[in-house]
Every structure is written in C-alpha cells, then in structure tokens.
Structure 1
C-alpha cells in the first residue's frame, strides 16, 4: 500500500471543526478526519476521485 503524502485541508475550513484532509497517492487520493489523523484513511483511485470532485462542483449532493 502506498503511503499518502502532501496532506491538505481546505483553506475554507479554518473556522470549523468538521474538516477532512486529502493526501496524494501515486494513483489516486486518500481522505482522513482532521480531528483523528491517526484513525486511518480511505483511499480512492484517480478516476473515483475525479468523479467525486466533479459531483461536488456540479452540486449533485445538494
């Protein structure tokens, strides 16, 4: 398993406790809870992550 690197938290989440961080993987992304960084993470493929981002940007979760 590849170790995620370059963990990032959205700059828009500075005033809230409900945050996640995204880490880069060679072939996708990893997501973890900012409040529990040692609690593990989930991983996605590059295609899954791209589909998720597209869904967020097109407001499909509203």
Structure 2
C-alpha cells in the first residue's frame, strides 16, 4: 500500500488519545494515535464516504 500521511481531527487535544485517518489511492486507514505502529482498520473509499455521510447526517461532529 502507498505511504499514508495520517491526520488527527481538529477536535483532538494532546491530553487525550485520538483516532487518526489516512487516505491512500484505494483505501482509508484508521489508527490509534497512541499506537502509530499498531493495528489499523482499512476501509474502501466508498465505505468511508458512506460512514462520513451518516455521521454528518446524525448531527454528531465529524
């Protein structure tokens, strides 16, 4: 898989562990910021897009 640059949410503070996401050409990966070399969840771009759309529709912060 391509080298992925991970990003934290703007809602994240250094005082708490955060979830980071990174996008590659064909997939999106999610990891725990406290364990950058730990396990990652991988989602297809369509699945990630559906997830983000549903979070936004729910009124929860994205």
TM-score normalised to the size of structure 2? 0.81
Q: CA deviation at 1:16?
A: 4.4
More strand by share: 1
Provide the aligned length of Structure 1 versus Structure 2: 60
Where in structure 1 do 4 or more consecutive aligned residues deviate above 4 Å? none
Q: Point out where structure 1 has 5 or more consecutive residues left out of the alignment.
A: none
Q: Point out where structure 2 has 5 or more consecutive residues left out of the alignment.
A: none
TM-score normalised to the size of structure 1? 0.81
